[in-house]
Structure 1
Amino acid sequence: MELRQLRYFVAVAEEGGFSRAAERLHIVQSAVSQQVRRLERELGLTLFERSTRRVVLTEAGDRLLPEARDVLAAADRTRRIAAEIAESDTTTLRLGTVRGPGDRVYRLLSRLAELAPELRVRVRGLPVADRLAAVRGGELDAALVRALPATPGLEPIPLWTDPLYVALPARHPAAALPVPKLRDLAGLPLRLAERERNAPFHDLVTSAVRAASNAGPLAGPPFTDLQDTLTAIGAEGERAPSWTVFYRVTGLPEVAGTVIRPLADPVVTTSLAVLPGPPGPALRLLLAAARSFS
């Protein structure tokens, strides 16, 4: 069975005759008739009732028609996806990243544009889980992820590391330390976003606190956004002290009553999540751009 035969069969069924089907397909009528008869012989079915006045589907043809349409639609979809893959391999890079990605990502994309001005970069800002799923499913060529753990079906390529920062009340003893350690914050409730919002970063922080203090972090009020959380830490001060940890996206904010210090350990690594195997041309260009400035 050939796709051509199914296409001719569908055209005859939809046009109601071999002549009109031939016109639609831009071929001679005899070719349409010949291929449909071959299909009938191969299937062992009569698909059309033919007369000098009309051509109508038999019961078998009527049952086969939706299946033939599905096969042709799947074939068209496969061709389209193959064309997109071929295009992405050579001229387009589909990259997942965070919203408000930060200075390093902007520098990376700027350097990539210098190295390969002909390369089109399509950036999609997605939550972490959606980014990783899109790489697995082939919707993205790669995704930038901070604190990426071992992930089944994906290969992490570390690109750069950044320090973490802690924010705590100005009157807390650890605020006097130029570079506090996690053990200096033991017993102070931690403001941390729910794990669902950024599982890799959440796991990095909670594991580091557990290793430093032999206990998990004390749960503080939820982390909302950085500005509101820093303001709350400064405002509540001695009455309800708490702290948070974050990575710098742009500049470090200044908030009354809140002190920000670099954290001694851990650091956060930004990696590229890709499918296993040799990188394609577009991905090799991205890696070259990362190596040139990181």
Structure 2
Amino acid sequence: MKITAKAWAKTNLHLGVGEARPDGFHELLTVFQTIDLFDTVTLETIDEEIVETGSVVKRLSVTGPRGVPEDATNLAWRAVDALVARRAEQTPLPAVTLHIDKGIPVAGGMAGGSADAAATLRAVDAWIGPFGQETLLEVAAELGSDVPFCLLGGTMRGSGRGEQLVDMLNRGKYHWVVAVFAKGLSTPAVFKKHDEIHWHGNFEIEELSEALLQGDYLSVGSALHNDLQISAFSLRPELRTVLTDGIKAGAFTGIVSGSGPTLVFICENAADARDVAESLIDGGQVLAAHTATGPASRSARTRGAHILSIED
């Protein structure tokens, strides 16, 4: 059996970061939105090889940007093991291989690893499920704070460490430019810098909520906020220059996505987005600049991680 699943990248329209909690996580209030950059994960069974004990994953390969682990530390691999462990009947299963085709920036604050995990959960669910949405979300939260949102997609408010999700109404379609850098940023390093700065978390999203209801890119752009941006700029000062360059090139505004270093710019239309992307590439400070729209899909079936194909 060969199952291919797809998951979208996310950006944070708002990211408010509180103090570190006793469990080591930070209290968050965020507004996620999927954008139409994506990864695909293909799970293929090796029917002639039955696994009695240990992980059923025998190999993981990746195409696309470098820097993605191809071993058991990869979230996709861990997603297989976590969901297999939830089976009611612990009978031996065939071994599987995983292949990830990356379209989401690596270590860029756009939840690429979480998207892979979410897509893998959908693939395993199609293989040996159904497990039910509640179980999938429980496992997703165990794997990482962004995985539940990547599983569901759309535009959602996240609280707790980001895993407590509520749908938000959104009437607009937004044009984004995603500026990718050759060197990633460590999420723990960004949060550590945030704690050193003692920045007070911004947990006010009323302005953004109203802007999303209006569906106006100017209002949404004016309400964008990321508490981690100061920390990302402190660790990577060149980000501030690129942010300014993007606005000069025609974007209404821009923001660091998640923990960075990826920058996202909101533009009036697709033509402006293409112009901004070309200008940033010409400037030579970014590895790539992609145009994208968000939310990625309004269909309940495809707005989050979803199955693309199943071959027996």
- The higher-RCO structure (CA 8 Å, 6+ apart) is 2
TM-score by length of 2: 0.22
| Larger helix percent | 1
TM-score by length of 1: 0.23
Who wins on radius of gyration, i.e. which is larger?
Answer: 1
